């Protein structure tokens, strides 16, 4: 296989058992099996894709992944009404289908729980709408697998990727304003909080009380603020983006509600810093009761090729 560095037990073992010089030694025993090791810093990499009506873009997104460096790919479909499920079954990847729609955040909860079940050391979340560049998965994974960072985000704002990619002007201005406000409120310095392309270490996903988070779009913002509140190290890379009709987006009204919601999350964090009792998603004391597990998401799944 080309997708793993091979460790050969005969070739790489110490030479203490070598035959005397000049003598050909024929072995009767079978050659020991080759062991396949993860490529990126010895870490197992899993990419999760929370899908909803992604039939037209999911195959293109997967084609952009470098499978030589990725150990597992998991698609979770959130009760799509198009052909997403039929296409996913034919792709030869891991999948799970929800019985009912659980929202964008609810989909991610299933994604991360199943990713942990694969034994992944690093989990990369990528939208299946082909809006983000899938070839950057190894870059994000390397930053976390190196042990230098716990979280890595692909920022559309670093550089000129957002504007050149067609991000609507009002969204760009809102992104910049909200990011500035959140940085000031929680004491961070990120270029954006709203990217749907990010990588997490296993420890992050096992520590945060993600079941206490929203099931809607606010989930992403809560998760980044949680990472900051728990003291996890966050990095960013620049990422181009593409806006086109098939790419998922939310309308102006939901964008407005989301914007006020993100400010509320940051205000929660600020108030926690000055001693106010934290809400459930920022409560370190009760966090273990709200961490992810397969048991927490099993009932919502109608079909899967996982053994859960």
Tokens at 278, concatenated: 């934290």
Residue with the bigger pLDDT between 252 and 282: it is: 282
Question: 161 pLDDT exceeds 90?
Answer: no
pLDDT at 249: 61
State residue 73 phi and psi, 5-degree precision. Answer: -125, 130
pLDDT at position 23 is 41
**Residue carrying structure tokens 């929203």:** 214
Query: In this structure, are strands 5-7 and 35-37 parallel, antiparallel, or unpaired?
Result: antiparallel
d(CA 283, CA 212): 10
Residue 67 has pLDDT above 70, yes or no: yes
Question: For residue range 10-59, what is the model confidence (pLDDT) as tens digits?
Answer: 444 444 444 444 443 334 444 555 445 678 989 999 999 999 999 999 99
CA distance 244 to 61: 14
d(CA 258, CA 221): 9
Q: Which of 282, 254, 109, 108 is nearest to 186 (CA)?
A: 282
pLDDT, position 242: 82
At 54, is the secondary structure helix, strand, or coil?
coil
Q: What is the pLDDT of residues 241-258, one digit of tens each?
A: 888 666 656 677 888 899
For every residue of 100-169, DSSP letters joined together read S--HHHHHHHHHHHHHHHTT-SEEEE--TTS-B-GGGHHHHHHHHHTSS-SEEEEESSSTTHHHHTT--H
**What is the average per-residue pLDDT within 157-183?**
86
pTM of the model: 0.85
CA distance 55 to 52: 8
What confidence score (pLDDT) does residue 241 get? 85
pLDDT tens digits along 184-229: 999 999 999 999 999 999 999 999 999 999 999 999 999 999 999 9
Query: What is the set of domains in the chain, with CATH numbers?
Result: 37-283 (3.90.550.10)
Average pLDDT of the chain is 88
What pLDDT does 182 receive?
A: 97
């Amino acid at each position: 296989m080309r997708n793993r560095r091979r460790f050969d037990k005969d070739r790489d073992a110490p030479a203490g058992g070598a035959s005397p010089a000049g003598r050909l030694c024929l072995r009767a025993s079978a050659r020991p099996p080759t062991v396949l090791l993860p490529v990126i810093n010895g870490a197992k990499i899993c990419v999760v894709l929370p899908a909803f009506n992604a039939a037209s873009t999911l195959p293109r997104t997967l084609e952009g992944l470098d499978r030589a460096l990725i150990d597992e790919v998991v698609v979770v479909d959130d009760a799509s009404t198009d052909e997403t499920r039929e296409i996913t079954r034919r792709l030869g990847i891991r999948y799970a289908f929800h019985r009912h729609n659980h929202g964008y955040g609810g989909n991610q909860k299933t994604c991360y729980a199943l990713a942990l079940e694969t034994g992944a050391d690093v989990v990369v979340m990528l939208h299946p709408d082909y809006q983000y560049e899938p070839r950057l998965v190894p870059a994000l994974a390397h930053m976390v697998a190196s042990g230098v960072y716990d979280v890595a985000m692909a920022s559309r704002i670093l550089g000129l990727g957002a504007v050149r990619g067609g991000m609507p002007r009002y969204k760009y201005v809102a992104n910049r304003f909200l990011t500035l406000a959140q940085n000031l409120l929680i004491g961070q310095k990120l270029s954006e909080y709203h990217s749907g392309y990010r990588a997490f270490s296993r420890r992050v996903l096992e520590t945060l009380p993600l079941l206490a988070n929203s099931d809607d779009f606010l989930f992403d913002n809560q998760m980044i603020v949680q990472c900051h509140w728990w003291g996890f190290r966050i990095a960013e890379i620049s990422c181009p983006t593409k806006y086109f009709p098939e790419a998922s987006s939310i309308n102006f009204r939901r964008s407005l509600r989301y914007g006020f919601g993100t400010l509320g999350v940051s205000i929660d964090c600020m108030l926690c810093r000055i001693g106010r009792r934290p809400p459930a998603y920022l409560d370190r004391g009760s966090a273990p009761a709200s961490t992810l597990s397969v048991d927490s998401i099993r009932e919502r799944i109608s079909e899967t090729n996982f053994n859960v």
